């Protein structure tokens, strides 16, 4: 029986990835590292440590502790200044419908300040647990973010599903042994093929989630 639903935030609940991508591009410019926004979409879900490691390695550089902190501050500052994110149409109403029946969580790779500010603004009083990229040692695709969310929700893995929109997030959920559905927010559906179900848009996802609430369960078959 379904008892918990864990959502990624950026790209699932909030249309915010363009602002994350732009902020990372600007942050890396100060290090003399050229990053394209499309590259950020490909690694969406990784926490700031993972993002820094990926692009420093591509540039033939090695990041130290000071670099992680500095880039996170620069990225966060740019995001908070230029952010014009908004919830995807229908998702706020969908979570309000789901919350009385299920425990709801967010597991995001973004830093705590950004995640909590977006969730408090757009989804107040609808989330039981928020896991940010700063709350884990290993970001997505490692299973830690979703395993931690499951533990905090206090449900069994078999009683929980994940809603994702990014390849690393899907991999994280599957590495954690969780049923995962995905919505093609920014990438083509085939990029999300490891998910158990893939929806072409948020309308299809919302219909599915509302169907779960009506049926009080979910199908585990692809």
pLDDT tens readout for residues 110-139: 989 999 999 999 999 999 999 999 999 999
Q: Domain 17-82 maps to which CATH number in 1.20.810.10, 1.10.150.240, 3.40.50.1010, 3.30.70.1400?
A: 1.10.150.240
Q: Structure pTM?
A: 0.87
- Please check the confidence at residue 217 and state whether its pLDDT lies above 80: no
| Maximum alpha-carbon separation in the chain | 53
The yes-or-no answer on residue 53 being catalytic is no
Which DSSP helix (H) or strand (E) runs through 181? strand 179-183
Question: What's domain 4-15+85-215's architecture?
Answer: 3-Layer(aba) Sandwich (3.40)
pLDDT tens per residue, range 2-54: 999 999 999 999 999 999 999 999 999 989 999 999 899 888 888 899 999 99
Q: Which of 8, 135, 142, 196 is catalytic?
A: 8
- Please check the confidence at residue 220 and state whether its pLDDT lies above 60: no
């Amino acid at each position: 029986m379904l008892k918990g639903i864990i959502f990624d935030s950026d790209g699932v609940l909030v249309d915010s990835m363009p602002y994350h991508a732009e902020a990372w591009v600007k942050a890396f410019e100060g290090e003399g590292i050229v990053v394209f926004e499309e590259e950020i979409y490909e690694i969406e879900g990784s926490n700031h440590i993972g993002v820094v490691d990926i692009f420093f390695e591509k540039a033939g550089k090695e990041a130290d502790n000071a670099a992680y902190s500095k880039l996170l501050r620069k990225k966060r500052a740019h995001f908070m200044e230029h952010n014009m994110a908004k919830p995807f149409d229908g998702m706020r109403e969908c979570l309000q419908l789901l919350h009385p029946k299920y425990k709801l969580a967010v597991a995001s790779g973004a830093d705590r300040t950004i995640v909590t500010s977006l969730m408090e603004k757009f989804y107040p009083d609808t989330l039981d647990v928020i896991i940010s990229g700063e709350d884990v040692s290993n970001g997505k695709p490692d299973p830690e973010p979703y395993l931690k969310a499951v533990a905090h929700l206090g449900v069994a893995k078999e009683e929980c599903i994940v809603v994702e929109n990014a390849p690393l997030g899907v991999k994280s959920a599957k590495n954690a042994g969780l049923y995962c559905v995905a919505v093609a927010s920014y990438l083509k559906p085939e990029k999300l093929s490891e998910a158990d179900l893939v929806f072409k848009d948020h309308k299809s996802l919302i219909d599915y989630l509302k169907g779960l609430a009506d049926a009080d369960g979910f199908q585990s078959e692809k």
